[in-house]
Amino acid sequence: MLGLLVLTLASFAPLAAEARAFFVFGDSLVDNGNNNYLATTARADSPPYGIDFPTRLPTGRFSNGLNIPDLISEAIGTESPMPYLSPFLKGEKLLAGANFASAGIGILNDTGIQFVNIIRMYKQLEYFQQYQQRVTGLIGAEQTQRLVNEALVLMTVGGNDFVNNYYLVPFSARSRQFSLPDYVVYVISEYRKLLVRLYDLGARRVLVTGSGPLGCVPAELALRGRNGQCSTELQQAAALYNPQLTEMIKELNAQYGSDIFIAANTREMSTNFISNPEAFGFTTSKMACCGQGPYNGIGLCTPSSNLCSNRDEYAFWDPFHPSERANRYLVQQMMNGSTEYMNPMNLSTILAMDSRT
């Protein structure tokens, strides 16, 4: 028994010291397959999802190919972390990190209620705690804490609190309870609690993405936009939400340490290619590659949907999610973007700082 323990420590400890772990929390923009293990309709496990993935198979990613966590992993030279619910994520593999994200969830528990069985934020954080207990069993408490402290963390959540809650149906419960400005303040205050909890659980490098331009996705063009214009109400939501998120993150950094939370202005980044798709090599930012109805924006992307032949020409893969090519641009900006996009600094600066210490 003792011999086994020593062997385990010897084989795991150096790994923990070398590779930087990566943890992912959030919604469908970053889910890489957790929902495949759940009884929910919020899933991307059938074709043509994954059509441009290395295996050409659906994986649960809401993308034609790679998603944002995959591309961040590619940029920082690590393996993209596995879905936490995967039975294959065990043993030594745990040391590379884990992806806890779940399509459909929001900051609030009542967001995505129609998807029933999804991993809500508080549960993703509980799983993170459980993960740390499991890793402690492998490498001990001290090494586990170090692994978590030194890890990169990505948090992408918030869009669904508008799309799949406040604006889900006319006269939704939340829209009767709150004016939009008051709702944004409430959502941000709940988000703050989640980030503090993440800090308490040991996260020290947390990339927090804003929402996209919510009113401009093909689904909203089809549902609410007039003549292909972005939906005014959802654009207004994004315009209120994102600056307050940046402000809240600044306050957190002032309180907890200057470079712990990093705000990525994904609204600004996405607006670039949505308002000028040709400049980014896209032929359209209005029409989804996979879907049906106006802008291919109605319903889900399924085997019987319209499907474009060249996904790289489309900013949107399905009615809500960017194509791999658009994701690449987002991650490029996260890595190398100026302070207009990345606050207080970009990821390459963070990586350089961390390699020095």
Neighbours of 247 (CB within 10 A): 12
Binds ligand NAG by CB under 6 A, chosen from 172, 348, 351, 354: 348
**Pick from 11, 41, 46, 109: which binds ligand NAG (CB under 6 A)?**
109
Q: Per CB under 6 A, which region of 173-181, 203-211, 256-264, 336-344 contacts ligand NAG?
A: 336-344
Instruction: Check residue 78 for interaction with ligand NAG (CB under 6 A).
Output: no
Taking the complex as a whole, the smallest distance from the CB of residue 188 to ligand NAG amounts, in Å, to 12
Q: Does 259 bind ligand NAG (CB under 6 A)?
A: no
Coil, strand, or helix at residue 235? helix
Among 45, 190, 233, 268, binds ligand NAG (CB under 6 A): 190
Task: Name the segment binding ligand NAG (CB under 6 A); options: 242-250, 257-265, 281-289, 332-340.
Answer: 332-340
Cα 96–Cα 15–Cα 98 angle in degrees, nearest 5 = 10
- Residue from 29, 44, 238, 335 touching ligand NAG (CB under 6 A): that is 335
Interacting residue with ligand NAG among 46, 54, 122, 258 (CB under 6 A): 122
| Residue 96 Cβ vs ligand NAG, minimum distance, rounded to whole Å | 20
User: What DSSP string runs through 111-148?
Assistant: TTGGG-S---HHHHHHHHHHHHHHHHHHH-HHHHHHHH
Among positions 13, 15, 38, 75, the unique one binding ligand NAG when judged by CB under 6 A = 75
133, two tokens: 């207990």
In the complex, least distance from residue 207 CB atom to ligand NAG, rounded to whole angstroms: 13
Work out which of 338, 351, 356, 357 binds ligand NAG, going by CB under 6 A.
Answer: 338
Q: Judging by beta carbons within 10 Å of its beta carbon (0-12, 13-18, 19+), is residue 257 exposed, middle or buried?
A: exposed
Q: Is 321 a catalytic residue?
A: yes
Decide if residue 349 touches ligand NAG (CB under 6 A): yes
Q: Should residue 45 be labelled a site residue for ligand NAG when binding is judged by CB under 6 A?
A: no
Based on the shown chain and the rule CB under 6 A, indicate whether residue 73 belongs to the binding site for ligand NAG: no
Smallest gap, in angstroms, from Cβ of residue 86 to ligand NAG?
Answer: 24
CB of 154 to ligand NAG, least distance (A): 14
Overall size of the chain counted in residues: 357
Name residue 26's beta-bridge partners.
156
Question: φ and ψ at 302, to 5 degrees?
Answer: -130, 175
Q: Which helix (H) or strand (E) holds 152?
A: strand 152-156
CB of 347 to ligand NAG, least distance (A): 8
Residue type, 201: L
Catalytic-labelled residue, pool 27, 80, 321, 323: 321
Residue placing its CB nearer to ligand NAG in the complex, 144 or 346: 346
Q: Quick one: which of 281, 280, 208 has its CA closest to 244?
A: 208
In angstroms, rounded to a whole number, what is the distance separating the alpha carbons of residues 86 and 356?
A: 34
Q: What does the alpha-carbon distance between residue 306 and residue 265 come to, in Å, rounded to a whole number?
A: 31
Question: Tokens 């419960």 identify what position?
Answer: 173
Question: 166: which DSSP letter?
Answer: I
* Contact yes or no for 30/24 (Cβ under 8 A): yes
State the number of binding residues for ligand NAG (CB under 6 A): 15
In the annotation, is 28 catalytic? yes
22 pairs with which residues across the strands? 97, 152
Residue written as token pair 């987002």: 330
According to CB under 6 A, which one of 113, 185, 345, 351 is a site residue for ligand NAG? Answer: 345
Binding pattern for the stretch 298-317 against ligand NAG, x by CB under 6 A and - elsewhere: --------------------
Q: For residues 175 and 146, give the distance between their C-alpha atoms in angstroms, rounded to a whole number.
A: 43
DSSP H or E run through 269: helix 266-275
The single residue of 31, 70, 161, 318 carrying the catalytic annotation is: 318
Choose, from 27, 28, 231, 305, the residue flagged as catalytic.
28
Active site residues: 28, 318, 321
Give the residues lining the site for ligand NAG (CB under 6 A).
Answer: 75, 108-109, 122, 190, 331-332, 335-336, 338-339, 345-346, 348-349
